[in-house]
């Protein structure tokens, strides 16, 4: 069993805008986060992951970066950031930053120089700018489609006697893609890494880590085979991460690189987590897995196989800022269309118990510990750019519903998040989920999360790397964990019926059912010590 400080870390994601507002502008900030550091510490968290912290016009809420060497003013100052790092380190909590290398903001100095420098200026070379097709170049250079919907090209200034030119943006037009073949781009990002590492940052979550390079010649989807392969996951990207790994390895204590990576095949994912590249990659399979023992079995096996093949310990996550919160994903519906709260809560607790017993790192999303559901945001209040780029026939509502501000104090306006109007409206009844309401309730979800994280810290078998075959039969998922002379079987009931099991040595059940009851309820997990 390895002993790196990241090996079994529980990481807590902070979505800046929604965590805590101290300056009362309706948006979360650094001082707000510092005021709630005890909440994070009491959870037992090992590290936090901060969504983009840099100056940004906020076209995509921070993922459109205008300056990588400073802090967004609405969040605070660089000096406040430094103090925050110190505060977390004093409590033994590491800090991961989000880094966004695939694209910058259209307000970034480089893009502004490219726009204003005239035809043929060298500043354009840092971006992917091409002549259009058709008469006068009126059509985009190819048929690529933006992740947010619509064409991935927008017009770029051209001379009157030339073809219309276009710039590439695989996301929003406010996020022009960088040309990673350019030396300036590669050098700049190495400097960015060192700037923040020197300030004490413990590592980086890499946004769109499979991006950066595009297929030579920028072929049409039809001609290339598929859009995915042409736009993403090009072989040159691995040279970048080899260099980044050398940089972070210069620092002590150990620094950490984890990628947001989507690949067409498992074999392609393997290449990113070799020993000389990234330490880890997110496993997104749970985020899209339905309620199925076979489905979870297959996803767990695949992640464990990746670890065995590469040495990169798995990463488990059930929610993040881009996905429907998992309380709502796994809540069955009653006849009237409302969620079955009782069943949902059992499933919710059990999923945490399941991932806590798996080897590797666990990433939690702020509010998850309060069992926040997905919120229904009225269209007139939505802010996600992905929502506004959808076609009229699309039913995609964007990501705002998982980004509602945190409820802290039940008896304060906006549940204690802010005294002013929050950037997204707080749903009716949101105060019922507040941390103040749950803090002293021994049966609350908050205290359940605290207890499970503490259990993982104190019971070595839970974070042990030794795990047996993950099996599934008749809706029952099971595996055995081993540490020294202790063996524990973990079983989870995905079926709709009770499951009889040998419970003589049960050390945990996720429901409040009688521990002497030999039947595992639907949705329930049990830990059973094997003698």
State the distance between the two ends of the chain, measured CA to CA, in whole angstroms.
22
Instruction: Identify whether 253 is preceded by a cis peptide bond (ω within 30 of 0).
Output: yes
In the annotation, is 90 catalytic? no
For residue 280, which of 305, 260, 300 has the smallest C-alpha distance?
Answer: 260
For every residue of 329-376, DSSP letters joined together read HT--B-TTS-B-HHHHHHHHHHHHHHHHTSSSEEEEETTGGGTPPPP-
Q: Are 476 and 456 in contact (CB under 8 A)?
A: no
426 contacts: CB under 8 Å, gap ≥ 6? 404, 405, 407, 414, 415, 417
Which 8-state DSSP code applies to residue 484? T
Distance of alpha carbon 27 from alpha carbon 420, whole angstroms: 9
Counting other chains too, the contacts that 503-510 makes at CB distance below 8 Å and 24 or more residues apart are 503/528, 505/529, 505/530, 505/531, 508/353, 508/455, 510/346, 510/349, 510/350, 510/353
Distance of alpha carbon 67 from alpha carbon 117, whole angstroms: 20
Beta bridge partners of 519: 500
Q: Which of 72, 207, 368, 384 is catalytic?
A: 207
How many CA atoms does the CB half-sphere of 282 hold within 13 Å? Answer: 24
For residue 362, which of 5, 3, 4, 11 has the smallest C-alpha distance?
Answer: 11
The angle formed by the CA atoms of residues 81, 86 and 92, to the nearest 5 degrees, is: 130
In the annotation, is 250 catalytic? yes
Tokens of 523: 């949705």
194 contacts: CB under 8 Å, gap ≥ 6? 247
Q: What is the dihedral of CA 420, 14, 439, 520, to 10 degrees?
A: 130
Sequence length of the chain is 531
Q: Which of 160, 161, 198, 250 is catalytic?
A: 250
Q: Which residues belong to the active site?
A: 207, 250
């Amino acid at each position: 069993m390895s002993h790196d400080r990241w090996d079994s870390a529980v990481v807590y994601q902070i979505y800046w805008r929604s965590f805590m507002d101290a300056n009362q502008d309706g948006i979360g900030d650094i001082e707000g986060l510092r005021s709630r550091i005890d909440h994070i510490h009491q959870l037992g968290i090992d590290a936090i992951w901060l969504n983009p912290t840099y100056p940004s016009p906020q076209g995509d809420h921070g993922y459109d970066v205008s300056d990588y060497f400073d802090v967004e003013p609405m969040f605070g100052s660089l000096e406040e950031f430094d103090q925050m790092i110190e505060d977390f380190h004093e409590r033994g909590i590491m800090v991961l930053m989000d880094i966004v290398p695939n694209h910058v903001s259209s307000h970034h100095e480089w893009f502004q120089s490219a726009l204003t420098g005239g035809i043929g200026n060298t500043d354009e070379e840092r971006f992917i700018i091409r002549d259009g097709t058709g008469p006068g170049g009126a059509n985009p250079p190819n048929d690529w489609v933006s992740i947010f919907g619509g064409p991935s090209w927008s017009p770029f200034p051209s001379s009157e006697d030339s073809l219309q030119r276009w710039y590439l943006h695989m996301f929003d037009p406010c996020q022009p893609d960088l040309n990673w073949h350019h030396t300036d781009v590669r050098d700049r990002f190495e400097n960015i890494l060192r700037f923040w590492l020197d300030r004490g940052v413990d590592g980086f979550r890499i946004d769109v880590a499979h991006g950066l390079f595009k297929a030579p010649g920028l072929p049409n989807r039809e001609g290339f085979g598929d859009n995915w392969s042409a736009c993403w996951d090009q072989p040159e990207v691995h040279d970048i991460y080899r260099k980044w790994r050398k940089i972070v390895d210069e620092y002590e204590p150990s620094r950490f690189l984890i990628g947001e990576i989507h690949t067409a095949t498992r074999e392609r994912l393997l290449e990113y987590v070799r020993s000389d590249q990234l330490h880890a990659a997110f496993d997104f399979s749970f985020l899209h897995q339905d309620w199925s023992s076979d489905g979870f079995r297959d996803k767990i096996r695949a992640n464990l196989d990746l670890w065995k093949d590469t040495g990169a310990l798995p990463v488990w996550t059930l929610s993040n800022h881009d996905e429907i919160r998992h309380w709502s994903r796994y809540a069955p519906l009653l006849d009237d269309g409302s969620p079955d709260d009782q069943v949902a809560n059992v499933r919710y607790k059990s999923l945490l118990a399941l991932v806590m017993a798996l080897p590797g790192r666990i990433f939690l999303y702020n509010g998850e510990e309060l069992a926040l559901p997905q919120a229904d945001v009225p269209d007139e209040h939505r802010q996600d750019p992905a929502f506004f780029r959808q076609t009229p026939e699309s039913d995609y509502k964007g990501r705002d519903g998982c980004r509602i501000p945190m409820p802290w104090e039940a008896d304060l306006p906006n549940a204690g998040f802010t005294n002013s109007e929050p950037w997204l409206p707080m749903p009716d009844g949101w105060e019922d989920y507040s941390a103040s309401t749950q803090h002293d309730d021994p049966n609350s979800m908050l205290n359940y999360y605290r207890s499970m994280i503490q259990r993982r810290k104190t019971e070595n078998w839970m974070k042990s790397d030794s795990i047996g075959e993950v099996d599934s039969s008749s809706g029952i998922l099971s595996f055995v964990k081993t540490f020294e002379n202790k063996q524990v079987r973990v079983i989870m009931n995905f079926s709709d019926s009770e499951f009889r099991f040998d419970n003589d040595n049960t050390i945990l059940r996720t429901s409040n059912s009688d521990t002497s009851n030999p039947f595992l309820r639907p949705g329930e997990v049990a830990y059973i010590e094997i003698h």
